[in-house]
Amino acid sequence: MQRTIQIMNARNVVGLVSGSLEVVDRWREAGGSRILPSIAFDPKSGKPTVDELRRLVLEKRVAAFAEIVTQLDGVAANDPRMEPYYALAEELDVPVGIHMGPGPPGVSYFGAPDYRIRLSSLLLLEDVLTRHPKLRIWAMHAGWPLADEAVAALYAHPQLYVDIGTISYAFPRKEFYGYLQRLIDAGFESRIMFGSDEMVWPDALSAAIDSVLNAPSLTRQQKRAILYDNAARFLRLKPFAPR
């Protein structure tokens, strides 16, 4: 935590931090205004409950529902068990970040036996979005490797955003830049947000930032949009004044 916050201060990062409520509270205390608190929901266990999430939002202890990792449990983004949470998020105007992309290579064999890469398809969000048109939702890891489905969903649903998450540094540069450029060439540079998927290796945050800054085909304006402007608009951030 100390190393990550040091990097956040040095590189002027404001970040969503997700975890248990106790962990997120510790990060908020340590990182101050640089930390935006988020918490995940789990439709398989039913915890936290919808009522508990409502209370946390109203108490301003939670600013987003993320990272929703139901894909690792084989639960699709359009699973009926997700519906009460989506309805709450739309009602309270809370953004939802859902994992739709890669896990660790071979994760189905050692950590998440129900994980399926086909659940990365952003087309799974279509019924969700049409049922909840005011829902602010973004697909973490941008639906990699299903670029055609990602482009189709972004085209059909202007409220949908993505972030670049783990693909920004854990993949070969050529693959990441090619996937990113595919989304940009299709016209969606204003809906691609930065993400680091930093969990236990703090320098992944700098690696992810540098992968955007060093992208050979991006303009200065596009880099700024991905690193800040798009997320600031989506998350409705106020002008940032570090503590």
- The answer to whether the beta carbons of residues 153 and 125 sit under 8 Å apart is yes
**pLDDT tens by residue, 71-109:** 999 999 999 999 999 999 999 999 999 999 999 999 999
Q: How high is the pLDDT of residue 240?
A: 52
Strand partners, 47: 42
81-116 as b/e: b if 16+ CB within 10 A: ebeebbebbbeeebbbbbbbbbbeeeebeeebeebe
Q: How far is CA 32 from CA 6, 11, 65, 120, in A?
A: 12, 15, 19, 33
Closest-CA residue to 24 (of 54, 71, 65): 65
pTM (2 d.p.): 0.95
pLDDT tens string, the chain, 243 residues long: the values are 999 999 999 999 999 999 999 999 999 999 999 999 999 999 999 999 999 999 999 999 999 999 999 999 999 999 999 999 999 999 999 999 999 999 999 999 999 999 999 999 999 999 999 999 999 999 999 999 999 999 999 999 999 999 999 999 999 999 999 999 999 999 999 999 999 999 999 999 999 999 999 999 999 999 999 999 999 999 999 765 444
Rounded Cα distance, 242 and 5, in Å: 12
Q: How high is the pLDDT of residue 238?
A: 76
Q: How high is the pLDDT of residue 63?
A: 96
Measured in Å, how far apart are the chain's first and last C-alpha atoms?
17
In order of their start, the domains of the chain are 2-235 (3.20.20.140)
